[in-house]
Amino acid sequence: MNAPLTGFHIAVHASGVAAAYAGRMLGGMGAEVVLIEPPQGSPLRQEPPFLPELGQTKKPLPFRSFGLDGPRQSKSSPGDWTTRNWVGGGVCPLDATSRGTTDPTPTPPLKGRGLGTSALFAYLTAGASSTVCDLQTDDGCAALTAILSECDIFIDDTPLASREALGLDEAAIAARHPDLIHVSILPFGAIGEKAHWKGEEINLQHASGEGYLLPNGLSVEQFPDRPPVKIHGHFAEMQGGIAAALGALAALRVRGEIGGQYVDISSQDAMLSVGAFAIQRFGDGSVEHRVERSFRYGGVLPCKDGFVELLTLEQRQWDGLVELLGRPEWAEDPALADSLERSRRGPELNRHIRAWAKSRKVEDIVREGQKLSVPLAKYNTPAEVLRDPHERVRGLFQPVEVQGAGLLDMLISPIQFDSGTGML
């Protein structure tokens, strides 16, 4: 069977992660994605982390060394890449004819200003093609109009104040393209008191409530006075991207009846929606706080050689845990058969569980625990996720030619259709 969005065409004009990820997600499900870039390239090309140059890939390098510890040129050079080039590469073993691999034009440089290839840009744009449209010029605007006239969905994150001058405002797009699904993604949306506010990832995590609630568990226990800590990477912005994909596909379903429409996405809204739990708790009369948002027992367990996560929600899982612990005397206390009593005595239980875990190896605990159906997981590093035999079988990673960095295993898609791996 075809990838589900085969035949749909999407144009993405993105300077931020949210809009780019919306395109990436739809592209991963089979849509044809074209990036609309200014002559100097999308600012995402300049975003760290950067990949090591080709030929240096075996040398282990710390994360930060791809950051800005070296000099950064202040002025960008004009892009020397031509239009309709393939951006992130994209090898598609399942359906090699779909796109990318047969294009005769040279691959454009992904490089930032002398900084190397952006891993972020490569991940977010894999499988897409790129076209330069200088929207400051009439020719550029005409080129965009021509592209949009053949597209089903347009995803744009241009700040509100700049849209009209570039012909990217809601009314102008609707007038020219009545059947287009026009998706606007901004940190705080296109309507409302904060529509003009700037928001980077860290701001969005705190504007949506989750930032205030992290860290939890062992981390906040160890560092109760430190400022809250953010979730890695671009979690909130990517929620905006996922919500945009949802809105775009929903609007597309009724296009035949009511034509195109404007979909207004706010990354703050999207991040808030996945934080629904804290809002429900508020409705129930309690204000969540990171210090109290810890499991009564279990959670992050330091082991001899790393960390495991333990979470037993059901009685049979607790029974399995007692078995795993070797039926120690404290755990056989009949009072602990009651889950409410376990909750009350959580810290006491945790002292025992932590003492037990400390002298044991992660792999041993996980192996024995899973046999007893105790929910346990190893805290995997990225390198361990890449090597994970489970993900190898599922084809989560596939080799993708990344310009300037060579053939690299890239995460394709967390969603599979028809028991086949995703595609780029």
Touching other proteins, residues 300-329 (CB under 8 A)? 300, 302, 307-309, 311-314, 317
Instruction: Determine the Cα–Cα distance for residues 299 and 353; give it in Å rounded to an integer.
Output: 10
Burial of 240 (0-12, 13-18, 19+ CB in 10 A): buried
Name which position in 147, 160, 166, 231 contacts other proteins (CB under 8 A): 231
Considering only 76-84, 127-135, 323-331, 412-420, which stretch makes contact with other proteins by CB under 8 A?
A: 412-420
Give the SS3 label for residue 132. Answer: strand
Tell me how far, at minimum, the Cβ of 142 lies from other proteins, in Å.
25
Q: Does 160 bind other proteins (CB under 8 A)?
A: no
Name which position in 110, 402, 423, 424 contacts other proteins (CB under 8 A): 402
Tell me how far, at minimum, the Cβ of 310 lies from other proteins, in Å.
9
Residue 170: in which H helix or E strand, if any? helix 170-176
Contacts (Cβ under 8 Å, ≥6 apart) of 413: 25, 28, 29, 421, 422, 423
Length of the chain in terms of residues written? 424
Name which position in 95, 134, 170, 323 contacts other proteins (CB under 8 A): 170
CB 129 within 8 A of CB 84: yes
Considering only 76-84, 94-102, 226-234, 322-330, which stretch makes contact with other proteins by CB under 8 A?
A: 226-234
Closest among 151, 133, 156, 143 to 33, alpha carbons compared: 151
CB 12 within 8 A of CB 33: yes
Considering only 95-103, 223-231, 326-334, 352-360, which stretch makes contact with other proteins by CB under 8 A?
A: 223-231
Q: Does 218 bind other proteins (CB under 8 A)?
A: yes
Strands 32-37 and 85-86: unpaired
Instruction: Determine the Cα–Cα distance for residues 163 and 168; give it in Å rounded to an integer.
Output: 5
Q: Which of residues 77-116 bind other proteins (CB under 8 A)?
A: none
Q: Which is nearer to other proteins, 235 or 356 (CB)?
A: 235
Looking at residue 4, what DSSP letter applies?
T
The amino acid that residue 301 corresponds to is L
Q: Which of residues 51-80 bind other proteins (CB under 8 A)?
A: 51-52, 56-64, 66-72, 74
Structure tokens at 348: 């006491």
Tell me how far, at minimum, the Cβ of 361 lies from other proteins, in Å.
16
Q: Which is nearer to other proteins, 37 or 47 (CB)?
A: 47
Tell me how far, at minimum, the Cβ of 221 lies from other proteins, in Å.
9
Give the SS3 label for residue 54. Answer: coil
Using only C-alpha atoms, the chain has a radius of gyration, in whole angstroms, of 25
Q: Which of residues 334-393 bind other proteins (CB under 8 A)?
A: 339-340, 342-343, 346, 370, 373, 375-386, 388-391, 393
Residue position matching structure tokens 């950051």:
67
Considering only 128-136, 138-146, 250-258, 325-333, which stretch makes contact with other proteins by CB under 8 A?
A: 250-258
Q: Does 42 bind other proteins (CB under 8 A)?
A: no
Q: Tell me, by CB under 8 A, how many residues bind other proteins.
A: 184
Q: Does 209 bind other proteins (CB under 8 A)?
A: yes
| Residue 346 CB neighbour total at 10 angstroms | 17
Structure tokens at 59: 């040398």
Q: Does 414 bind other proteins (CB under 8 A)?
A: yes
Phi, psi (degrees; rounded to nearest 5) at 30? 110, -5
Residue position matching structure tokens 């009511």:
258
Q: Which is nearer to other proteins, 68 or 165 (CB)?
A: 68
Q: Print the binding letters for residues 22-41 with other proteins: x by CB under 8 A, - otherwise.
A: ---xx--xx-----------
Tell me how far, at minimum, the Cβ of 387 lies from other proteins, in Å.
9
Tell me how far, at minimum, the Cβ of 198 lies from other proteins, in Å.
4
Tell me how far, at minimum, the Cβ of 334 lies from other proteins, in Å.
17
End-to-end CA distance of the chain: give it in Å, rounded: 16
Instruction: Determine the Cα–Cα distance for residues 206 and 210; give it in Å rounded to an integer.
Output: 6
Q: Which of residues 115-144 bind other proteins (CB under 8 A)?
A: 118-120, 122-124
Q: Does 175 bind other proteins (CB under 8 A)?
A: no
Q: Which is nearer to other proteins, 84 or 226 (CB)?
A: 226
